[in-house]
Structure 1
Amino acid sequence: MAEGKEDKVGDCEEAPEGDADVAGEQNKEMEEGEEDGEEEEGEEEEEEDDIEDEGGYTFKFKDGENPLDFVEDNAFSVQPYKQFERLEYEALAEKKRKALADSQPEGSSKKARLEDVSGASCMEELMKAMNYGRRRKSKEPKKRGRQKGSRNRLNRDVAKMIGEATLYYAHCRYEEAISVLHQIVLQAPDLPDSYHILGLVHDAMGDKKRALGFYMLAAHLMPKDSSLWKLLMSWSIEQGDIGQANYCLSKAITADPEDIQLRFHRAALYLELGDYQKAAESYDQIHQLCTDNVEALKTGAKLYKRCGQLEHSIRMLEDYLDGHPTEADLSVIELLAVILMNNNEHIKALQHIEDAHLKYCSGEELPINLTIKAGICHIHLGNMQKAEVLLSLLEGESAYHHIDLVIEVADSLVNLGHYNMALKYYLMLEGNAGSHVGSLQLKIAQCYLSLKARSQAIMFFFKAVQTCADDIDARLTLASLLLEESKDDEAISVLSAPNNLESSNTHSDKSKPWWLNAKVKLKLCQIYRAKGMLENFVDAIFPLVRESLYCETLRQKVKVKKRLSRRALLERVKVLDNCDTDNLFSGFRPVASTSDLVKASRAKKLLQKKEEKKAKALADGVHWQSDDSDDEPLSRIHREAPLPNFLKDEDHHQLIVDLCKALATLRRYSDALETISLTLRLASNMLPVEKKEELRILGAQLAYATTEPKHGFNYVKYIVQQNPYSVAAWNCYYKVISRLENRDTRHGKFLHSMQGKLKDCVPPIVISGHQFTTCSHHQDAARKYLEAYKLMPENPLINLCVGTALINLALGFRLQNKHQCLVQGLAFLYNNLRLCKNSQEALYNIARACQHVGLVSLAASYYEKVLAIHQKDCPIPVLPNEKPNEEHLTPGYCDLRREAAFNLHLIYKKSGALDLARQVLKDYCTF
């Protein structure tokens, strides 16, 4: 009907001259058909009943419904075919419920109703309900004559209006045509011609959405018109709506079951959707309808095999052979043999090939492909002599004409471990392998490797890598062989990027070149690590590790919000269908709550945005790819890590530790600290205890080596918590926090908690005193130092700290007994001198204190004692499990004679003894 009308109307730009005559003839035909169609009307009504019985559902508008609401409401939101699916489901379900209720024993109320009607009509309704879904022919004689109230026959006014609308469309007067057609729709809502012409008009105006809606209505009112369904299917495919295309295609097949091409289209759609089971069933149906279509048979068998239904696939092919005892397509036998051989049923495959030789090639030779497959079966069965006789067809020039068969034979020999025989067939094609050069060289190399011929294997691996540069596994295998042969430089060159990157970089934007592959980088960094090439090792692996840790951190931080699929959005939008009482589909949805209405409105907006994007993409000529899926993969939200599951592999834990150490050696402290922090955060449950301890100690070491120690505070804090009475651990902690900001709250809270938990732990008390001294709170500092003195009175450092605090306090303005405080401070310094056994450091501290308070004569005498002592270097305290590193220290770092000489020369200079001051500097402060 669609094609016929389009041919009649013609192009809108050049309307035919006889359009008015055509319209008049059409009106005349309609009037004559109405006057003279009494007999046809009865037959048509009976045929309509048959259609309804066969299809189970025929779309009809209810009284009081406006059909235009359907197209208007769904032009930009819900797809029309979804609504029809739901309506059909509701109608069929209601009909089944009614049939079931009628078939059950009836109560008194039903019995009373049955008594009101005649027995014949009651039995007729009951039989109609019980025979639902089956096509039946009425045994009653056909009714002749005009039937009163028929809805399918046009009256004169409607026929005239149809003609006027057709003329308006032919002359491109679309607005007038739409106005007339809307009047027709209101008068005769079940007339399909009006919707079809409305679809033509809106299509000519460029409004594809409304045109599709009207065509959909026309097709549902004329379900047997396959041309309309085909048109809707093609439009749906153009718009990229595969679901709607599949729906229309199913309707077209129902309308015209004999059209094989439609079934081919449906099978192709199932393949595009990835539904291989339904595609296999479609090809199976095609073969049953057209038994001579061998391609459909083979395609269906392959798809069944892909779906795991191997027995069904074999049975299809065997049934075809049973049905062709004298002549058959030999490609079917080849496919059957391949399927059986892949299932290790070589005896059965060989039997089918031999039977085919007797049935279909009597007195003639089998095709070479079947003969070779028979030889392969004999190889698997152990009949090597028989196999060699059959495979001799491939020797000589025949091998160059059957490259695929030669490779198939050689692959079978490799799978069975016959590497020498496989090499014989592979080497046949070495000079003329065509497009199989790279894979052939790789297979030859694998054969030599299996035969432990390393030199030949390396040679062919080099050839394969040159031919197939992107073969990662070949490169890794070649690099391993070169390392075993102690050819480290060659292995590095195989895995390194080529020198001429511009000429070799022929990859697309989406694919990365082979030298950026994660496996290649890992292998290369292992070589660099073994050779001690730290810079190359870090450059190779650090970018991959950092990117992988960053991606894992994003996945843990960001809470992925599941994106609703289009199906879920459409379900939500259906809530809005009941808000308008004039809507076509009102009454199908219950009253919704406020929250459901809000969700439905949001879903409708999302659908509108998607439709706008889709329309824009199609207008720009860009291929539209919908992102609607039930489970939105994480890879669309976050980019994939270059080393997925890197932290879960135990072999990579030591690699991370070595990387952090290498970064520390190269003084890339911030990178090392960042790597340690992310690793411990992401893999705290995966790393062994010793690895975590090693990383934390390394982080503590880096904390006081980096310029920004705030990133390493947690590590020194952990070291102190694990070793609370270790002076070295507290030294490391104080070195880090002494360079932090003064108002760092983490330090104050931690120090306060440690003092509360460990009452007898001296280091946190001393560090608190140091913090008060830094802030010039000498009275609080003295109180803390005296608290520590009570716990360890014989500790030299505590005596020194108490003495310095009291002396600084004596120099303040608010203290009244300054002399007493000064004497007490000097007493603690002399106690420090006694505990240190008159060491150079203790003498220097007394001299410095005397100089500070103005006792210069006493200070000069102690400075002279310091100059008379030569102090040896002492080892620097190290962290637990840390190796001492004194390479960066210059000799004499513990000797204080230069500091003492400088202070002594200041005293001499201030007193006027310039010659003595000059002599002291010359003796001790010059080289």
Structure 2
Amino acid sequence: MEDQDPDVAGSSSKNMELESELTSKFLNGQMSFAEYSSEWYGGEDEDENDEIEKKVEEPQQSVARRRRRVNRLTPALIGLMGEANLRFARGDNEMAEKMCHEIIKQVPTASEPYQTLAQIYENDPEKSLQFSLLAAHLSPTDVNEWLRLAGISSQRNDPKLEMICYTHAIGADPGNLEIHMKRLDLINKLEHTDTTLVPSLMSRVRAYHKIVTAMPPSQGEIIMKYTRLAATLYHDDDEKSKACKVMSAAYAKCPTLFSLEDLNIFLELLISQKEFNKCLELFVASCGVDIEAEIQTVQYSTNEIEEQTNYTKCSIPNDLAIDLKSKLLVCFIHLGAVSLVQTLLSDFLTNDVEKAGDLYMDIEEAFSAVGHHEMAMKLLEPLVNTPNFDLGAVWLKYAECLLNLGREEEATNAFYKVLDHAPQHPAARRKLFAILEKSGHTEKALDVLQQDKKYVISPSLLYEECLALKKYNRMSRYLEVAEILLCRAITKYRHDEELRIACKQRSAIELIQEFRILKGENPYHKDDLQFEDENFKLTPSQEWEIYKELLTLAHGFKQYVTMQRISYSALLIKGLQAHRKQVEFYIFQACLLNKDFVHSFRFIRELAQKNTTNRTWNLLSFVINSVEDVTHSKFLTRLFQRDQHWVKNLFLGNNYLMSGRYLVALKYFLEYHEQFREPLSAFLISVTILSMAAQKTVDKHHNLILQSLSYMVAYKQLRKYDQEVNYNMGRLYQMLSINNLAIEYYEKALACEPIAQCDKHGTIDLRMETAYNLFTLYKEHSPHLARKIMLKYLVI
């Protein structure tokens, strides 16, 4: 005896280990029989050709689609098996079971011990069924056993196992029509009770397909019945390749039973799969067509030799259906028999276009596909002149054909006809744009790209329009179009609550829609733009660049409402989530520019807690003083609770001053002034005390006024800019109605130099404000002085 190949021996050992492991899992309930079976057979049964293709595609699969290796027992084990059966017959079940397990241990793939174990456990239906399934699995050609197990599965109401049993039974006896019918009955039953289970077991169309491939040619009528059913279902699911396979299988067995309609469908499927030579064979064999051809040998410059078929003559029966004639022409066109086609086409063009227009289109498509546009035009011209075919699709083919022939002016008119029929047609708009742009009609070209928002919009065409608008510097229109493109996948805000959701949550579109549903609103709006479901998609980097570009344009055009809207929309765009912090800052800037201080406060609050710089405090102060609601004391208290910052007293004091709580404000200002001795704090203390003195409920008004004056003097001493100091002193005395002193300080302010000169902000000068206050003081008692002040300082 020859030594066994080590690789083969190793593979056999691994298989035995795997077999034992799988069997153990099945018997222990760790896997169902469907899972166990699929480890060897790949699940559902397939057409044989599909099986072969899949094995070629996946040669490295180690488990799935494995075929069980059935081992025969050695003579010694046959004797042991006989002894086990004898022990079982005598009632010694325990010993019989031990013997069976010993045999299984040595040869796990032998069916005999499992058969005996199934009989031993006949009082335990579950265990008996497990052993019976294993036994049948290891002797798969026993069709009666599979049918018996299918019956048991039906009684147990286990359709999945029943389907597996019928599938194995068909594998054992493929030509048994009765088993196929039982499996179809089970599929029918499941379709009426549990449609979700059917796809996981076996679809109806694959059952039909299996009948076609399994039945012998003698069952021609049965084959044709299920061929037609399968082809119809495959065609409805756009699986033309499988429809072609089932028709090919049927034709190979019973070609004489193919009706004219069957042949027509079969030819159409073959053409869709580009099987043109097979089509010609079909025409010759079943349609009475006679074709003459000669073989030519062509030698290329690379010394490569190829044989080419040159079709020279074709004889067509007079009674051949016109749709079959058109398919014959299509095949010849794709096979390069142009001269033969020209001869046959003259006869075809005598047919009435009204009745045969669809066939004209098929032949035209074939001509266009191989680049014979002059020939295609012979079919298109009668079509566009026929009322029944005055359609957008026909005009589009006509326009494209004219364009390929270089007749651009005629093509332009034809593309406009397409848009008359289909206003939103993207392909027509693209090609018309290219023609108009090439001819120098830029404005017309750009108008062509503009889509009507009442209809469904193509995102890819919208993007091309953006590129064209940028190219020709139409930035105002670009701002509008690019915003639609950028925000196409999001929703418009309806309430402030939706803004809060977007600010708090990332990718909040779904949450906003749920919020609307909870409020009893429609999540979508009738005026929302509708976009085509196409594969076009901007990358996150593209979205980010467009977003920044739109903000720059909106700012440049001073369209701050648009700038704010785009900024808030960016919170919902998934591609911009990586830049969320920057987006939030842009929203804050847009709100400031749009003077929407209520919404800007939402962002400056968070910024102030994380970024404690002078710029942040200035922005926070600006926003707080600009918002009509000035009660921000709780927020400010929380803000400075952890970190005692030097600006705390100024913020809190100013907030309480604005809200009329003067004593609290005075407390904070005094604390600050005691620590820093700045002119600002002295000035604020003076203003606060003066505001208190103006209240009717306060006693000792004169004492308060004197205190206010003393702090204003301290402010005057600390502040170095004479114009500002004199102006504020004048304002103080004017408020106290001490007009002579007010006039004195205003005149001093007018005589002073401007406060500062700045390259960025210009001159900081209070002369106009000072002059106006002097004008109001003089106009009642000294109108000539008031006029003199006005003419000198207030005339622009």
Shorter-chain TM-score bucket reads 0.5 to 0.7
Matches within 5 A, 1:55-66: none
Separation (CA, whole Å) in 2 of partners of 1:291 and 1:409:
34
Q: What displacement does 1:858 show?
A: 5.1
1:86-118: per-residue Cα shift (whole Å, max 9, x none)?
A: xxxxxxxxxxxxxxxx9995895989xxxxxxx
Separation (CA, whole Å) in 2 of partners of 1:846 and 1:736:
28
Given the superposition, is the C-alpha separation of residues 905 and 301 from structure 1 closer, same or farther in structure 2, using an over 3 Å criterion? closer
Q: What displacement does 1:845 show?
A: 2.5
| Counterpart pick for 1:710 among 585, 589, 598 | 598
Partner in structure 1 of residue 727 of structure 2: 844
| Counterpart pick for 1:416 among 351, 370, 379 | 370
| Counterpart pick for 2:719 among 828, 832, 843 | 832
Any conservation in 1 of the 2:754–2:764 contact (CA below 8 Å)?
yes
Any conservation in 2 of the 1:495–1:520 contact (CA below 8 Å)?
yes
Partner in structure 2 of residue 298 of structure 1: 228
Partner in structure 1 of residue 77 of structure 2: none
Q: Secondary structure at the match of 2:640?
A: helix
| Counterpart pick for 1:770 among 648, 654, 674 | 654
Q: What displacement does 1:340 show?
A: 2.8
Any conservation in 2 of the 1:647–1:683 contact (CA below 8 Å)?
no
Any conservation in 2 of the 1:789–1:799 contact (CA below 8 Å)?
no
Q: What displacement does 1:704 show?
A: 3.5
Mapped pair 1:531 → 2:484: no
1:610-647: per-residue Cα shift (whole Å, max 9, x none)?
A: xxxxxxxxxxxxxxxxxxxxxxxxx9987898458988
| Counterpart pick for 2:570 among 656, 664, 679 | 679
Q: CA RMSD in A?
A: 6.0
Separation (CA, whole Å) in 2 of partners of 1:923 and 1:659:
46
Matches within 5 A, 1:425-504: 425-432=379-386, 434-435=388-389, 437-450=391-404, 453-469=407-423, 471-475=425-429, 477-479=431-433, 481-482=435-436, 485=439, 487=441, 490=444
Q: What displacement does 1:843 show?
A: 3.1
Given the superposition, is the C-alpha separation of residues 470 and 672 from structure 1 closer, same or farther in structure 2, using an over 3 Å criterion? closer
Any conservation in 2 of the 1:547–1:641 contact (CA below 8 Å)?
no
| Counterpart pick for 1:555 among 510, 515, 520 | 510
1:364-390: per-residue Cα shift (whole Å, max 9, x none)?
A: 725354454344334434444444445
1:337-394: per-residue Cα shift (whole Å, max 9, x none)?
A: 3323322333333333333356999997253544543443344344444444454543
Separation (CA, whole Å) in 2 of partners of 1:435 and 1:343:
27
Given the superposition, is the C-alpha separation of residues 326 and 534 from structure 1 closer, same or farther in structure 2, using an over 3 Å criterion? closer
Separation (CA, whole Å) in 2 of partners of 1:314 and 1:800:
91
Partner in structure 1 of residue 67 of structure 2: none
Given the superposition, is the C-alpha separation of residues 851 and 434 from structure 1 closer, same or farther in structure 2, using an over 3 Å criterion? closer
Matches within 5 A, 1:724-743: 724-727=612-615, 730-740=617-627, 741-743=629-631
Separation (CA, whole Å) in 2 of partners of 1:392 and 1:700:
73
Mapped pair 1:365 → 2:311: no
Partner in structure 1 of residue 204 of structure 2: 278
Q: What displacement does 1:803 show?
A: 3.5
Aligned residue identity for 1:352 = L
Given the superposition, is the C-alpha separation of residues 295 and 108 from structure 1 closer, same or farther in structure 2, using an over 3 Å criterion? closer
Matches within 5 A, 1:629-708: 642=530, 651-653=542-544, 673=564, 675-680=566-571, 682-683=572-573, 686=576, 689=579, 693=582, 695-706=583-594, 708=596
Mapped pair 1:868 → 2:740: no
Any conservation in 1 of the 2:743–2:774 contact (CA below 8 Å)?
yes
Mapped pair 1:802 → 2:677: no
Given the superposition, is the C-alpha separation of residues 638 and 542 from structure 1 closer, same or farther in structure 2, using an over 3 Å criterion? same
Q: What displacement does 1:863 show?
A: 1.4
Partner in structure 1 of residue 279 of structure 2: 349
Given the superposition, is the C-alpha separation of residues 308 and 543 from structure 1 closer, same or farther in structure 2, using an over 3 Å criterion? closer
Aligned residue identity for 2:587 = G
Matches within 5 A, 1:61-210: 105=88
Aligned residue identity for 2:511 = Q
Separation (CA, whole Å) in 1 of partners of 2:443 and 2:586:
32
Mapped pair 1:332 → 2:262: yes
Separation (CA, whole Å) in 1 of partners of 2:578 and 2:374:
47
Separation (CA, whole Å) in 2 of partners of 1:420 and 1:788:
95
Q: Secondary structure at the match of 1:429?
A: helix
Given the superposition, is the C-alpha separation of residues 360 and 710 from structure 1 closer, same or farther in structure 2, using an over 3 Å criterion? same
Q: Secondary structure at the match of 1:738?
A: helix
Any conservation in 2 of the 1:799–1:829 contact (CA below 8 Å)?
yes
Given the superposition, is the C-alpha separation of residues 328 and 525 from structure 1 closer, same or farther in structure 2, using an over 3 Å criterion? closer
Given the superposition, is the C-alpha separation of residues 849 and 457 from structure 1 closer, same or farther in structure 2, using an over 3 Å criterion? same
| Counterpart pick for 1:896 among 755, 766, 778 | 766
Given the superposition, is the C-alpha separation of residues 531 and 830 from structure 1 closer, same or farther in structure 2, using an over 3 Å criterion? same
Given the superposition, is the C-alpha separation of residues 346 and 746 from structure 1 closer, same or farther in structure 2, using an over 3 Å criterion? farther
Separation (CA, whole Å) in 1 of partners of 2:485 and 2:465:
12
Mapped pair 1:780 → 2:780: no
Aligned residue identity for 2:413 = M
Q: What displacement does 1:464 show?
A: 1.5
Given the superposition, is the C-alpha separation of residues 637 and 449 from structure 1 closer, same or farther in structure 2, using an over 3 Å criterion? same
Any conservation in 2 of the 1:549–1:679 contact (CA below 8 Å)?
no
Percentage identity across paired residues of the two chains: 18
Given the superposition, is the C-alpha separation of residues 919 and 360 from structure 1 closer, same or farther in structure 2, using an over 3 Å criterion? closer
Separation (CA, whole Å) in 2 of partners of 1:104 and 1:464:
88
Partner in structure 2 of residue 600 of structure 1: none
Q: What displacement does 1:400 show?
A: 6.5
TM-score relative to the length of structure 2: 0.55
Given the superposition, is the C-alpha separation of residues 742 and 674 from structure 1 closer, same or farther in structure 2, using an over 3 Å criterion? same
1:212-252: per-residue Cα shift (whole Å, max 9, x none)?
A: xxxxxxxx9xxxxxxxxxxxxxxxxxxxxxxxxxxxxxxxx
Any conservation in 2 of the 1:372–1:405 contact (CA below 8 Å)?
yes
Separation (CA, whole Å) in 2 of partners of 1:745 and 1:520:
53
Partner in structure 2 of residue 514 of structure 1: 455
Aligned residue identity for 2:397 = K
Q: What displacement does 1:926 show?
A: 6.7
1:519-555: per-residue Cα shift (whole Å, max 9, x none)?
A: 7877778888853546993899499759634597451
Aligned residue identity for 1:301 = A
Q: Secondary structure at the match of 1:742?
A: coil
Q: What displacement does 1:462 show?
A: 0.7
1:725-749: per-residue Cα shift (whole Å, max 9, x none)?
A: 354x544432221133233467415
Q: Which has the higher contact order (CA 8 A, sep 6+)?
A: 1
Any conservation in 1 of the 2:771–2:790 contact (CA below 8 Å)?
yes
Any conservation in 1 of the 2:209–2:246 contact (CA below 8 Å)?
no
Any conservation in 2 of the 1:646–1:652 contact (CA below 8 Å)?
no
Separation (CA, whole Å) in 2 of partners of 1:364 and 1:269:
52
Q: Secondary structure at the match of 1:445?
A: helix
Separation (CA, whole Å) in 1 of partners of 2:188 and 2:262:
23
TM-score relative to the length of structure 1: 0.49
Given the superposition, is the C-alpha separation of residues 458 and 865 from structure 1 closer, same or farther in structure 2, using an over 3 Å criterion? same
Any conservation in 1 of the 2:211–2:223 contact (CA below 8 Å)?
no
Separation (CA, whole Å) in 2 of partners of 1:305 and 1:546:
34
Given the superposition, is the C-alpha separation of residues 703 and 402 from structure 1 closer, same or farther in structure 2, using an over 3 Å criterion? closer
Unaligned runs of 5+ in 2: 1-84, 95-118, 124-128, 133-143, 149-154, 156-176, 293-313, 495-506, 694-699
Aligned residue identity for 1:683 = I
